[in-house]
């Protein structure tokens, strides 16, 4: 097997017959669309770095079963070293793209499905583990990008899936056939679906027996008949149509989300990994969420590294780098960012094997990691905006900068320190705007809040994993309390 190059990846996505809609119209060539292309470039980086010898140890892994070198995004974690390298790889990619590189959900789905299907088979004698390993080997052999899809629209949050007025608010099985199943519904907020070859579907929450039609997991190619995508808007996304590499802030990389609709999609029997085993939905959700919450201790830290660097450059260009309060703010930003990294490494180092043999992170620490990610990036952004100054959001456009009449005035009055061009000052401010306000970018502030589940979802898991009874016993022992 040969690892794909970035260019081979681009052409493989171009060859897909995806049904993509944006602004009420079908996008005939998503690969070439100026709004969508930066997100594709972010995924391409996961292929480009895997080709570089200096990054081989982080970006790739050798499958112990076959001896084959794989892109780490398609690898099963075999030990705590793999879990730690995953986080380090994600930090590297965050540093290289300053955006969401989109393959984490597939990697996390791979590892959650691997152990969960093993345990379903052990209880029920099903063949899901074999189905999944066959699918996994197919993706590994072709070096494919796989999207992991868990979030349903949910409708009325107070009602269970089976009790919704519209049963399609949660993706579900509508027909059981000898050769497979037919499903209908949608998956929301799907980062990277547009740039994936395959999509793994998982239930979005713990199911009860009455919800067994919704306890379904499977994988299909993203261009399967009946699947179409409606692209979500981003703040200032149409700036990408203006031809200004400065005004978009991050001209090369970005992310994109989609509402992925499944309109009576057929799933072959050998692509099914769960079909009605509602009692395992909780295990799958918790494991996937745990892996994905670990991911944020890497990817958001790498993006944070770029934002801290941009804020430090803004201080240099503004002539404020020596101010004590600016130095203190940069220290605080670094402290918060490295704390997130500590959490990602800690939950990885404390990982343990599952019954299937692959390794899972410490679930409590993974949820603590993500809980911190819902808070610290907001403070990092606040401090970056403080250092940058209001010109970050009031600066004229690149067209004004380059205009024969207006340009000289923009260059004159918006210059900072001598020796730094006005254009370079505006470029770094636009990058901060991009990362802080979501200007045509996805992957830092708001996604830090809602990605991998809401803050309350993590608090629920922290409550479950916190083991208060044991802590009470420790206190009783110290206090010599006998009951």
Element (H, E) at 219: strand 216-221
Of the candidates 119, 198, 257, 385, the residue annotated as catalytic is 257
Exactly one of 292, 317, 341, 354 is catalytic; which is it? 292
Decide if 104 is catalytic: yes
Calpha distance 3→144 (Å, rounded): 9
Contact 182, 174 (CB under 8 A): yes
Q: Point out the catalytic residue in the list 9, 47, 75, 100.
A: 100
- Contact between residue 373 and residue 323 where contact means Cβ atoms under 8 Å apart: no
Selection from 186, 242, 222 nearest residue 43 by Cα: 222
Among the listed residues 46, 191, 204, 422, the single catalytic one is 191
User: Which residues are CB-neighbours of 400 under 8 A, at least 6 positions away?
Assistant: 406, 407, 410
Instruction: Please say if 447 is a catalytic residue.
Output: yes
* Catalytically annotated residue among 9, 75, 97, 104: 104
Crossing angle between the packed helical segments 104-124 and 281-318, to the nearest 10 degrees: 170
Which candidate, 83, 109, 269, 114, places its Cα nearest to that of 204? Answer: 109
Residue 59 neighbours by CB under 8 Å, 6+ apart = 46, 49, 50, 52, 71, 72, 89, 92
Degrees to nearest 5, angle at CA 462 with 461 and 466: 120
Is 292 an active-site residue?
Answer: yes
Catalytic status, residue 369: no
**Is residue 296 annotated as part of the catalytic site, yes or no?**
yes
Per DSSP bridges, beta strands 198-201 and 146-149 are parallel
What's the CA gap between 389 and 398, in Å, rounded? 19
Selected catalytic residue, list 236, 299, 343, 369:
299
Query: Out of 9, 296, 317, 341, which one is annotated catalytic?
Result: 296
Indicate which residues carry an active-site annotation.
100, 104, 191, 257, 292, 296, 299, 447
């Amino acid at each position: 097997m040969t690892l794909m190059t970035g260019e081979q990846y681009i052409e493989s996505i171009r060859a897909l017959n995806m049904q993509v809609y944006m602004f009420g119209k079908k996008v005939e060539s998503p690969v070439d669309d100026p709004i969508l292309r930066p997100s594709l470039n972010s995924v391409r980086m996961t292929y480009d770095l895997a080709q570089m010898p200096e990054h081989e140890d982080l970006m790739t892994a050798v499958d112990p079963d076959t001896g084959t070198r794989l892109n780490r995004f398609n690898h099963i974690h075999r030990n705590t070293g793999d879990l730690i390298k995953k986080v380090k790889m994600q930090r590297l990619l965050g540093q290289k793209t300053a955006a969401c590189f989109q393959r984490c959900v597939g990697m996390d789905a791979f590892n959650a499905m691997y152990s969960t299907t093993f345990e379903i088979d052990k209880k029920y004698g099903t063949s899901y583990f074999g189905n999944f390993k066959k699918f996994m080997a197919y993706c590994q052999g072709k070096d494919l990008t796989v999207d992991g899809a868990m979030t349903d629209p949910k409708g009325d949050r107070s009602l269970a899936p089976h009790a919704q007025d519209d049963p399609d608010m949660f993706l579900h099985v509508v027909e059981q056939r000898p050769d497979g199943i037919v499903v209908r519904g949608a998956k929301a907020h799907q980062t990277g679906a547009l740039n994936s070859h395959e999509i793994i579907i998982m239930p979005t929450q713990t199911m009860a027996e009455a919800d067994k039609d919704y306890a379904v997991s499977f994988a299909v190619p993203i261009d399967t008949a009946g699947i179409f995508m409606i692209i979500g808007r981003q703040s200032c996304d149409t700036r990408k149509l203006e031809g200004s590499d400065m005004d978009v802030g991050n001209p090369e990389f970005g992310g994109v989300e989609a509402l992925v609709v499944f309109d009576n999609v057929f799933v072959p029997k050998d692509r099914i990994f769960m079909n009605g085993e509602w009692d395992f939905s909780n295990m799958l959700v918790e494991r996937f969420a745990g892996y994905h919450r670990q991911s944020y201790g890497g990817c958001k830290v790498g993006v944070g590294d770029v934002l801290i660097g941009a804020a430090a450059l803004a201080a240099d260009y503004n002539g404020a780098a020596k101010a004590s309060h600016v130095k203190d703010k940069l220290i605080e930003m670094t402290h918060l960012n490295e704390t997130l990294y500590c959490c990602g490494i800690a939950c990885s180092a404390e990982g343990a094997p599952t019954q299937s043999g692959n390794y899972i992170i410490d679930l409590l620490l993974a949820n603590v990691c993500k809980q911190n990610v819902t808070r610290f990036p907001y403070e990092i952004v606040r401090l970056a905006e403080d250092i940058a100054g209001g010109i970050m959001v009031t600066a004229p456009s690149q067209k004004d900068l380059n205009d024969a009449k207006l340009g000289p005035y923009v260059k004159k009055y918006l210059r900072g320190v001598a020796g730094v061009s006005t254009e370079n000052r505006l470029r770094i401010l636009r990058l901060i705007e991009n990362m802080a306000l979501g200007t045509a970018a996805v992957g830092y502030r708001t996604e830090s809040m809602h990605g991998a589940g809401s803050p309350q979802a993590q608090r629920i898991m922290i409550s479950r994993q916190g083991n208060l009874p044991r802590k009470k016993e420790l206190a009783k022992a110290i206090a010599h309390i006998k009951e």
